[in-house]
Amino acid sequence: MSLRIGRNKFYFRGKVDGVVSHFYSVGYYITENDKAIRTIIDLGANIGSETFKFFIHYPEARIFAVEASTSNSSLLLRTFQDIPNVTVINKAIWCNDDDISLYSRSEDPQSFFVSSPDVMGSADPIGKVETITMNGLVSHYSISEIDILKIDIEGAERYLFSENLEWLNSVNCMIFEIPDADAPYTTQMIFKRLSEFNLSFRSFICSECLVLIKSTVNWNLKSINGYLTSRDRSLQK
């Protein structure tokens, strides 16, 4: 499936699968109120369903879509090739520079995950992938503030939150699926790290995700059907 975005419209090219229903299911967006959302990082962007939602909701924001799978990243590049404020990064987010292998549970685009070879034992990887740390990402792209950080990295959250966490201070909103099925006790680890940095967040449950909004930011979670564009938001005021 390839999704192409034209002037004032978007359309699908090729096979359209279940991701379309994902686009139009009941969802949520973050209300900006008196502080605009300017920088979004999508960790584990996959084929771009959430990246696309972010682009529709916040068309002026810089969006960084980080995806370890080369095939998924190729689709992301085709989808957003005409959108200059969406940057696709074909790397695996990790806690440090390491030798990381890419694995797959099936042919499904959402089945890719990364891990250290010593953890996977005799399992055969499908390839190697270059890593990037969060500190390295924010430094390379001159990111001083992360307004929304979405994380869906199939259990690698336990490594992301294990060390080199200076970037946590710059996050205003964090969205992540509960990763404990892939990496037990990781949610507890995430909250422990936030506490160690003396960070306070308001917590919301959004479907299978947790949404954390920094207590010092005047944002809220709002339920919607499908998408809410900037024009729609202006009509609501």
Q: Is residue 119 in a domain?
A: no
pLDDT tens digits for range 62-118: 999 999 888 888 999 999 999 999 999 999 888 887 767 666 665 544 555 555 545
19 domain residue, yes or no: no
Q: What are phi and psi of 169, to 5 degrees?
A: -65, -20
Is residue 44 situated within a structural domain? yes
Domain span including residue 140: 29-95+130-236
What are the phi and psi torsion angles at 99 (to 5°)? Answer: -90, 100
Q: What is the pLDDT of residues 115-161, one digit of tens each?
A: 554 554 445 555 677 889 999 999 999 999 999 999 998 888 988 99
* Cα 115 from Cα 136, distance rounded (Å): 19
For 190-215, what is each residue's pLDDT tens digit?
999 999 999 999 999 887 889 999 99
Q: Tell whether 55 is covered by a domain.
A: yes
Q: Is residue 6 part of a domain?
A: no
22 three-class SS = helix
Report the C-alpha gap between 213 and 164 in whole angstroms: 22
Is 134:171 a contact under the CB 8 Å cutoff? no
Residue 79 lies in a domain: yes
Cβ-Cβ contacts under 8 Å for 80 (sequence gap 6 or more): 5, 48, 51, 55, 65, 86, 88
Residue type, 198: N
Per the document, the length of the chain is: 237
**Residue that has been written with the tokens 């199939």 in this structure:** 154
How many domains are there within the chain?
1
Instruction: Please give the model's pTM, rounded to 2 decimal places.
Output: 0.81
Q: From start to end of 34-147, where are the E strands? A: 39-43, 62-66, 86-89, 92-94, 100-104, 112-115, 127-129, 131-133
pLDDT of residue 151: 95
Whether 8 maps to a domain, the answer reads no
- Residue 136's closest CA among 158, 116, 115, 166? 166
Helix (H) or strand (E) holding 204: strand 201-206
Interacting residues of 23 by C-beta distance below 8 A, sequence separation 6+: 49, 52, 53, 226, 227
For residue 174, the 8-state DSSP code is E
CATH assignment at residue 181: 3.40.50.150
> Each residue of 8-22: pLDDT tens digit?
344 444 333 444 444
pLDDT mean over 162-169: 95
47 within some domain: yes
Separation CA 151–CA 112 (nearest Å): 14
